[in-house]
Amino acid sequence: MDLSHPRLDDTAEVDIAVASEPTTLIAVRRFLGRCVQGLTWRRVGVVVVFCAIYGAVLSHDPRNGGPPHSVATYLLGLAVALTSFLPVFLVVAVAANFAPKRLTPRTIVLGLVVVAGTVVGFYLMTIVLGALAGYDVEPPKHARSPLALLAIGWVGLTIMLLQERDAAAALATYEAAEHRLELGRQMSEAQLQVLQSQIEPHFLFNSLAHVRRLYQTDPRAGRAMMRHLSRYLSAAQPALRQTSIGLGHDLELAVAYLGIQKIRMGSRLAFEIDVPDEAREARVPPMMITTLVENSIKHGLSPLPEGGMVRIVARLDASALTVSVSDTGQGFQASLGTGVGLANIRARLGVLYGASGELSLHQNMPRGVMAAIVVPARFGAVAEA
């Protein structure tokens, strides 16, 4: 489907406007723009200054037995230098915009371009030298051998490529710093979010009401509730300062939360955890499972009078760990969400693992939602952020 034009009232008008500018003209303008990209006045200036110096050397060739110093001979020298060097520079600068981006093929292509530029420059120079035949200008060394001109072209190219490499390295350093900043930002957002749901007054006071009641009627259940609550309240904080913890450890937190909700919701909540032992050692970013479980209960099961079931399943294969949290709740009622939980999980996975980390949502059968996190399988201690 073509989305480039809106389909509302002024469609026709916009189409006319687009059609009235010839597309070939736009294409030519774009092409020219691309050609001269990177061809700054500063760079042209550097070449001109170089030519000016070289021209001075030419007009002061000691083999001539000292001066004729005159403005005229100097200008002639300059003309020779400009006509031979500028073409090399221009051809390389334009070609650089079309050359492959990777460094090795780029060097080869640009090397060939220098040869082409040298041929052009040498040809122009011979024309100028021919025109200057009657004047007192000693032909420069590179006029006798195009190899000299070629050498100068290659020196210029090497400088350019080195400059490019420095720029790329600087960019990489900058991006790494950005990446670290972004990770820090995502982590503190996750931290804040967990803190918020932990100390959400409604959740906290409600849980306390249960603790009080249970201590009167069923002290054992009361102690269990207290244990879940303090585990949930305390564990999240140190865990969150790490970029990853063991899956088993992270599950404890989710189970503590499920324990609290189980006491509140009674028979309305059932849960099941299917995590093989070998997967418990795998590293995961902290709190993601709890966030998904919270989502399942808050948005999936809580609104349903009959409640439902939450299932946490983990599977480990050679390269990846997949953890899914599914519920039999009411499913996504709205296609728009304001919760930061899901967005934060996706962002954190992106920052930590790039394309190999993933959060996906699926419709659970017969109803509800399944959220799955895939992370690269990693074990042992991982450096902390």
Partner 1 sequence: MSITGDLARIEPVKALIAEDEANLCDELRETLAGLWPELVICAVAADGLQALQQLERHAPDVLFLDIQMPGTSGLEVAKHASGRAHVVFVTAYDKYAVAAFEQGAVDYVMKPFDPERLADTVKRLKGRIDSAPANLEGLLRALYEKMGSGRQYIRWITASQGQELRLITIEEVCYFQADNKCTQVVTAEKESLIYRPIKELSEALDPSTFWRIHRGTIVNIRHIAGISRDYRGRLSVKLKQRSETLPVSAPYAHLFKQM
What is the DSSP-derived secondary structure letter of residue 62?
G
By CB under 8 A, residue 263 contacts partner 1 = yes
- Subset of 280-319 contacting partner 1 (CB under 8 A): 302-305, 307
CA distance 201 to 184: 27
By CB under 8 A, residue 171 contacts partner 1 = no
By CB under 8 A, residue 27 contacts partner 1 = no
Judged by CB under 8 A, the residue of 12, 71, 336, 383 near partner 1 is 336
Q: In the complex, what is the shortest distance from the CB of residue 8 to partner 1, in angstroms, rounded to a whole number?
A: 4
Q: In the complex, what is the shortest distance from the CB of residue 24 to partner 1, in angstroms, rounded to a whole number?
A: 14
Specify the stretch interacting with partner 1 by CB under 8 A; choose among 13-21, 88-96, 119-127, 288-296. 13-21
Closest CB to partner 1 among 125 and 375? 375
Strand partners, 372: 324, 360
Residue owning tokens 């981006």: 101
Closest CB to partner 1 among 246 and 307? 307
Closest CB to partner 1 among 2 and 277? 2
Rounded to whole angstroms, what are the CA distances from 169 to 163, 173, 177, 248, 354?
Answer: 10, 6, 12, 40, 20
Q: In the complex, what is the shortest distance from the CB of residue 101 to partner 1, in angstroms, rounded to a whole number?
A: 17
Judged by CB under 8 A, the residue of 230, 362, 379, 385 near partner 1 is 362
Judged by CB under 8 A, the residue of 173, 206, 230, 234 near partner 1 is 206
By CB under 8 A, residue 359 contacts partner 1 = yes
Closest CB to partner 1 among 2 and 317? 2
**Maximum separation of any 2 CA atoms in the chain, in Å:** 118
DSSP 187-216: HHHHHHHHHHHHS-HHHHHHHHHHHHHHHH
Q: Identify which of 144, 143, 152, 141 has the alpha carbon closest to the alpha carbon of residue 117.
A: 152
* Angle, alpha carbons 131-134-135 (nearest 5°): 95
Per-position b or e across 155-171, b if 16+ CB within 10 A of its CB: ebbeebbeeeeeeeeee
Site of interaction with partner 1 (CB under 8 A) = 1-10, 14, 17-18, 20-21, 201-206, 208-210, 212-214, 216-217, 263-266, 268, 302-305, 307, 332, 335-340, 342-343, 346-347, 359-363, 369
